[in-house]
Structure 1
Amino acid sequence: MKFSLILIFLFSINLSAQNSFTISGKVTTEGLPMPYANVYLKGTDKGAVTDENGNYIIKNIPEGNYTVVASFTGFKAQAKTVTVNTNININFNLEETETLDEVVISGTLKPVSRLESPVPVEVYTTTFLKQNPTPSIFEALQNVNGVRPQINCNVCNTGDIHINGLEGPYTLVLIDGMPIVSGLSTVYGLSGIPNALIEQIEIVKGPASSLYGSEAVGGLINIITKLPENTSKFAADGFITSWGEANIDLGFKAALGSKTDVLTGVNYFNYSNPIDNNHDNFTDVTLQDRVSVFQKWSFKRAENRQFSVAGRYFYEDRWGGEMQWTPEYRGGDDIYGESIYTSRFEVIGNYQLPFKEKVNFQFSYSDHDQNSVYGNTPYLAQQRIGFGQFIWDKSVNNHDLLFGTAVRYNYYNDNTTATETADEVAIPSLFIQDEIALNSKHHVLLGARYDYDKRHGNIFTPRLAYRFKPTEEDIIRINAGTGFRVVNLFTEEHAALTGARDVIIEEELKPEESYNVNINYLKKIYTTNGMMFTLDASAWYTYFTNQIVPDYETNLNQIIYDNLDGHAISQGVSLNLDAVFAQGIKANIGATYQDVSQHENGEKNRQLLTERFSGNWGVTYKHYPTNLTFDYTGSIYGSMLLPTLGELDPRSDASPIWSLQNIQVTYDGLKNMEFYGGVKNILNWTPEKNEPFLIARADDPFDEQVDFDNDGNVIPTPDNPYALTFDPSYVYAPNQGRRLFFGVRFNIN
């Protein structure tokens, strides 16, 4: 009996062994072994990591059909479908994903490999946006080195984008290469662009006025949307936070016949939960109800000629103020609130003319209507921007030429005393660009633009760029050029509209001009154990004349605007390091040191609200057997000077060093679906932690209890011991503390 049981037991072990198999093999790249690559069976928890010789083995696999996947961060994953009924051997050869070889257009106005572009262009894809999900592009750029979203008001939380320490109005924001986000929409237009429709974000640091005209003084941000034919049939992405925020992006495409594809996207964001954690009776974060609808049409034409038209409608209702504020108090002086209704639409198009030569007509139009009140001060404004340009792309021998002519129409009107009549102007332009390939290592780019503005006359902006590529792993770029900016004050300076300060314009403002040089070095490093590093270093120097600087200090009850009687300088260095490590780990770190200052009457003054140094980082770890991805992102900012209200003001005149950090976990083990969640601002940093208050005179927002002397200066009183007036401009960091978030993505290809 015992002998029979032993035989049965041995037979069952043998039967089990016969029904359990192994998959083994080798993973290589370009014929070389790839250590620490991940090999796993999709949809199961079985997998292995290759050894130092690139070999792997997966054991105890039941009989059946499987998809075997080999992957390594920085390389294209490879999948093979097999039937397992015996021990089998599968080898993989992975190809590197050339993260520097994206096609970019922002630097030269024509598609070119990022590696070959004479102008350094930074590219951020949807993978970057997913590392730290946000409801707007404005917040997403927080993790870009040298770029900082700046909140300009503690009450309504409007803001702009700083590049290399320069204020938001110096940054031109484009959608599909068209300059439709400017002026009024610089403050509000960076919200409501559905992330599901974004192909990539391109950032150029330094003047680009020779191609794009006014406003591209400090740099540009180009948001490129997807082509309908290259998108999923349906995509949805929504998340909620523990603060009560809700955001949803929807995208879907349809084919209308054989020659027309339509892409539609919708973004909806809502935050309706007033919170006052700093106990000043003002909302910490503005309340928002926002909807944006985007549609892009792409038409197939003979000889693959281009034709696409896109449009977007955006509506937002936002308010911030005293906690008891409701819409019936809007515009009154009983309860203080800042309420902004924004309605805008945009149209963008690109049509390649039916010529033998490559000639494109590009056009855009935007109409922005803003109905807002800041306490009892109304601000009603309309802005219309029309833009059209012809571009002729022509190659002759080793010359890659670009000729263009453009007209930009600007209309602006508001109810302020500074705008007695509507500002309406058409600015015609001519530009030319020649990229000369001296040989495979040396490229030179020459460019120039001529604009005529009837208010300011002739404006000429040249540009010179040089690219030296001594090896396939090294690139040196030198760019120099000029920039100019025509100013509309009230569309850019929120401080001019809020608080109790009077706005003083001392003279007719002249357009600002700049001279810039930028040196960039890029290095790719490959190690013998399969790791990859990319080093990107830059140094820049920008000299400004006629810079317009708001003066908060000469008279504490005024904001005085005039052209600087001297010059301003922005200079600094930045460094980015991207690394791909073994076992599914990818990391990036960046740091910037900058000096932004104004020089007038022999004195050097550091620019307010501008950090000396900043840094950012991101670490991604993909654990393939469990289908989990872990992201840790963060940014750190150095001290910046703050706009206090006099010697008695108890608030610090400089901010501390501060940091925002986030963690996220994503699960993608289900077909067409991802779940993600995490914690934003894990350090719970908010600026009021070190200050007695943020908003000056929050208990008296209409200055009813403020006394003045005969010269208009505030008199200290028992009720106002610090001699302050109501002012919400003391802000440098978000007031929103730690919060949880959870989201779902769904995608059908």
Structure 2
Amino acid sequence: MRGIILGLISLIFLVAQVNGQENEIHGEVLSGSEPVAFATIFIKELSAGTSSDEEGKFTLKLTGKGPFTVQVSSIGYKTFQGFIQGSERSLTFQLEAIDSGLEEVVVSGTLQEVSKLSSPVPVEVYKSGFFKANPAPSLFESLQNVNGIRPQVNCNICNTGDIHINGLEGPYTMVLIDGMPIVSGLATVYGLTGIPQALIERIEVVKGPASTLYGSEAVGGLINVITKSPENAPYFSADYFGSSWGEQTLDLGLKSKWGKNIQSLTGINAFHYAHPIDKNGDGFTDLTLSERISVFQKLHISRPGNKSLNMAGRWVYEDRWGGEMNWNSKFRGGDEVYGESIYTNRWEVFGNYDLPGKENFTFQYSANGHKQNSVYGETFYKANQSIAFGQLTWRKEFSKNQFLAGLAYRYTYYDDNTPATYSGVEERNKASQIHLPGIFIQDEISLGDKQSLLIGGRLDYNSIHGSIFSPRLNYKFNSIDKSLVMRISVGNGFRVANVFTEDHAALTGAREVVFEEELKPEKSWNVNGNLVKKIYTLGGNFISLDATLFYTHFSNRIIPDYESNPNQIIYANLDGKAISKGISLNSTLALANGLEGSLGATVMDVSLEENGVSRRQLLTERISGVWSLSYKVWQWGLTLDYTGNIYSPMRLPLLGPLDDRAEFSPWWSIQNIQITKNIGKKWEIYGGVKNLLNFTPPANSIARAFDPFDRGVEFAEDGSVLPTPENPNALTFDPTYVFAPNQGIRGFLGFRFTISD
């Protein structure tokens, strides 16, 4: 017995001695492959630590088994926090530079891969993590937290919309996928839905004309959706979430290899919402019901000499409807129950091919087809659009010059069942066909370590309007340490308007389309001044300030006139000017306490002037603000996200002088909160509340919602509405008085599953 007791005492003493032994750990702190000198490595439980030397190496002594919480920090880098065991022998910590976004590669500004900091054209970059802070069923909704960009809902019933950049409507924004013009014309309304967000690497935004490189439609700016390359994508990813309103969204991504040289990336996006809700009591659905499926396929083919060969395609089908609560498909196109039903069938292919040889020749191409079958009450709208695009570029570096030249061609075919494509002279249908060949050149000249100059020009020949020339000039200055960057840009943009595709809901068989003159291409001149300042503090905090002054002057603005004659739509170039001017400020921050995020605000004035009279543009706010704040609770593996936006009053479309609805919207804000829990390395569970303030537009946003077929409306001989005792305000049924979504507060819950290797 005595021997057993002595043995136990000896064992306890030995264990205590082992536990009390110091374990010496050797390690290094890196950022990529570069060492991080003088980084602090701190162990919370032991209140002890050390620092790395000039080569990023360190020695750390631990007492006990652990686990221990380790925190690694250095000025200019995001703080790393994790867990280590007392038995570790060697450690390597990777730190991410706080301002790494300034060094990432962008392509949208110059059509060449350059770091964001070095680009003479200001390019805003939003990575996939930015959109995870406020998950949405479509990219259209995800852009609501980008400063200076507002998704505008244009119809209370069908919920179609477009993207406004600095107050300019959707037709002035070009949307690209992997640098190829995909979403334009008819597809602007629906093209931003159905892009699998699980496959999006980042989104690049250029504000201001970019027609020198991208041609027509890049007048107000461009949005370039960059998808993940198969080499860098996870092997499998799944993202699903649903809301308390009954919305369900699923994103799937799969990487695979087809033989030795082909890598494949497949994505599927599905959206389902089939639960009519009428919270405002107007008898109409607050949110359009939708069934949508999108399939995306991308191939990367390895070639000798690192030459590129990529091919991609996407197919989207959507069936959506909104209307009176008792509507169903048997009422489609009839006059018993009002509904707006839209069938969309769309395909896209695009890619690039580096030509063999020593010279840097690249051929890029895209093509898409868009078929739409829609009804608005008893009005049918059927349309078919096809676009083919090809571009050959040549890049050459010599001395202090980076030279780029290219040849481009775009073909656009459009046909529909409205008077817009009907030839009254020949009394037959006449589809629109436009050929647009072009040539462009640019030269980026290095003026030393601090300055660079970009000069470019483009000449296009439109088969209808003739030749169009668009030049641009960009100047960049940066300090030696690159903590200060200044850019000045002057550029010209143009848009060959396709009026057939932009006001299709208004085109009915009862209206005659009238062109008062041969329409000239819309043109714009833009001046931008951009200043970026990076600020580091000794406490490990980082703040970046990005300020931009912008001024855009439009000529030949095409304005559709629906009011002069109720039986006609009259198109003419604006006999005057249109101005968009303002200032925007973006700030990104990363604090040592774990708070990260961005804040932004834009103050602008967008107006039209004709015959000496200036008027404010409809549905355009003067002041807007956005924010996205994230805080990590390391010990619990939680991330808290708070996102939102706020808008000042905007002028709304009234139906006439007797319309008693408010002429201006109120100040309004959409705010969201989310909590994300990491479970291991593969799982994330997230949930939260959208539209915390439960803001919705007035319940009377749809004029005469009780009489959608205007049976109680009396018209004069000229087609104008007569005020009557039953209709004293001389209104007709109208769903276009809309400035914000009708969808109120709702909860959501989802999960993400990722296999990276």
TM-score (norm 2): 0.91
Tell me, yes or no, if structure 1 residue 677 matches structure 2 residue 687: yes
Whole-Å Cα distance in 2 between the matches of residues 157 and 282 of structure 1?
Answer: 12
| Alignment match, 1:43 | none
Distance (whole Å) between structure 1 residues aligned to residue 219 and residue 363 of structure 2: 25
| Contact 1:171–1:217 under 8 Å retained in 2 | yes
Assess, with a 3 A threshold, how the Cα gap between structure 1 residues 530 and 81 changes in structure 2: closer, same or farther: closer
Q: Report if aligned partners of 2:487, 2:529 keep a CA contact under 8 Å in 1.
A: yes
- Cα distance between partner residues in 1 of 2:307 and 2:156: 49
Which has the higher mean CA deviation after the structures are superposed, 50-59 or 300-309?
Answer: 50-59
Q: State the match for 1:642 in structure 2.
A: 652
In 2, Cα distance between the equivalents of 1:17 and 1:725? 89
2:485 paired with 1:470? no
Aligned partner of 1:161 in structure 2 is: 163
Match of 1:744 among 745, 751, 757: 751
Match of 1:703 among 698, 706, 710: 710
1:737 CA displacement: 0.3
Matches within 5 A, 1:500-519: 505-519=515-529
Distance 1:20 1:557 in 2: 92
User: Match of 2:458?
Assistant: 449
Which residue of structure 2 aligns with residue 324 of structure 1?
Answer: 326
The yes-or-no answer on 1:224 pairing with 2:229 is no
1:537-616 counterparts in 2 under 5 A? 537-551=547-561, 560-616=570-626
Relative distance call for 1:56 and 1:668 in structure 2 (3 A) is: farther
Instruction: Show the 5 A alignment for 1:56-71.
Output: 62=65, 70=72
When residues 530 and 381 of structure 1 are mapped into structure 2, their CA distance, relative to the original with a 3 A threshold, is same
Equivalent residue number for residue 496 of structure 2: 486
Aligned residues of 2:292 and 2:319 also touching (Cα < 8 A): yes
The 8 Å contact of residues 523 and 536 in structure 1, kept in 2 or not, is answered as yes
- SS, match of residue 278 in structure 1: coil
Partners of 1:284 and 1:254 in 2: CA distance: 41
Alpha carbons of structure 1 residues 229 and 102: separation in structure 2 relative to 1, 3 Å:
same
Asked whether the equivalents of residues 419 and 513 of structure 2 are also in contact (C-alpha less than 8 Å), the reply is no
Query: 1:60 & 1:558 partners in 2: Cα distance?
Result: 86
Give the counterpart letter for 1:305 in structure 2: K
State the SS of the aligned residue for 1:247. Answer: strand
Tell me the amino acid that sits aligned with residue 432 of structure 1: I
Q: Does the CA-based 8 Å contact 1:169-1:492 persist in structure 2?
A: yes
Letter in 1 for 2:461: Y
The aligned runs of 1:202-281 (5 Å cut-off) are 202-281=204-283
Provide the residue aligned with 2:110 in structure 1: 108
Q: Is the 8 A contact 2:598 2:628 kept in 1?
A: yes
Moved more, 714-723 or 15-24: 15-24
| CA shift for structure 1 position 733 | 0.3
Q: Is the 8 A contact 2:74 2:540 kept in 1?
A: no
- Cα shift at 1:556: 7.5
Q: Secondary structure at the match of 1:356?
A: coil
Give yes or no for contact 1:38–1:584 (8 Å, CA) kept in 2. no
Alignment partner, residue 534 of structure 1: 544
- Give the 3 Å change call, closer, same or farther, for CA 79–740 of structure 1 in structure 2: closer
Cα distance between partner residues in 1 of 2:563 and 2:52: 67
How far apart are 1:719 and its partner, in Å?
2.1
| Structure 1 residue 561 displacement after superposition | 3.6
The 5-angstrom pairing of residues 312-461 of structure 1 reads 312-420=314-422, 421-461=430-470
Provide the alpha-carbon RMSD of the alignment.
Answer: 3.2
Aligned to 1:118: 120
Question: Under a length normalisation based on structure 1, what TM-score does the superposition of the two structures give?
Answer: 0.92
Deviation (angstroms), 1:82: 5.9
Matched with 1:714 is: 721
| SS of the residue 2:131 aligns to | helix
Task: Tell me, in whole angstroms, the C-alpha distance in 1 between the residues paired with 2:47 and 2:223.
Answer: 42
State the distance in 1 between where 2:138 and 2:24 align. 46
Alignment partner, residue 97 of structure 2: 96
Deviation (angstroms), 1:71: 6.6
What is the CA–CA distance in structure 2 between the aligned matches of 1:519 and 1:344, rounded to whole Å?
A: 39
Q: CA deviation at 1:256?
A: 1.2
Distance 2:78 2:123 in 1: 23
Aligned CA distance change for structure 1 residues 394 and 610 (closer, same or farther; 3 Å): same
Contact conserved, 1:208 with 1:483, CA < 8 A, in 2?
yes
Distance 1:501 1:528, change over 3 A: farther
1:549: Cα distance to partner?
Answer: 2.5
Does structure 2 retain, via aligned residues, the 8 Å contact 1:48–1:57?
no
Residue of 672, 676, 679 corresponding to 1:666 = 676
In the TM superposition, residue 744 of structure 1 has moved relative to its aligned partner by: 0.4
- The amino acid across from 1:447 in the alignment is G
Matched with 1:199 is 201
Please tell me the residue identity of whatever aligns with 2:705: A
Structure 1 residue aligned with 2:427? none
In structure 2, C-alpha distance between the alignment counterparts of 1:127 and 1:48, rounded to whole Å: 33
CA contact (8 A) 2:23 2:87 kept: no
Cα pair 2:81 2:634 within 8 Å, conserved: no
Q: Give the letter for the 2:733 counterpart.
A: F
CA distance in structure 2 between the partners assigned to 1:21 and 1:637 by the alignment: 62
Residues 527, 702 of structure 1: alpha-carbon distance in 2 compared, 3 angstrom cutoff: same
* Residue matched to 2:149: 147
Q: Partner residue of 1:725?
A: 732
In 2, are the aligned partners of 1:238 and 1:745 still within 8 Å (CA)? Answer: yes
- Check the 8 A contact 1:374/1:497 in 2, yes or no: no
Query: What amino acid sits opposite 2:472 in the alignment?
Result: R
**Residues 657/83 of structure 1: CA separation in 2 closer, same or farther (3 Å cut):** closer
Cα distance in 1 between the residues matched to 2:215 and 2:478: 29
Q: 1:653 maps to what in 2?
A: 663
The CA deviation string for residues 555-599 of structure 1, in whole angstroms up to 9 with x for no partner, is 688765421111111101000011111121102110000110011
Q: Secondary structure of the equivalent of 1:632? A: strand
Checking the alignment, whether the CA contact within 8 Å between 1:495 and 1:729 is kept in structure 2 is: no
Aligned to 1:190: 192
Give the conservation status (yes or no) of the 8 Å contact 2:420–2:513. no
**Could you tell me the percent identity over the aligned residues?**
55
| 2: CA distance, partners of 1:273 / 1:154 | 17
Distance apart, 1:191 and its partner CA = 0.4
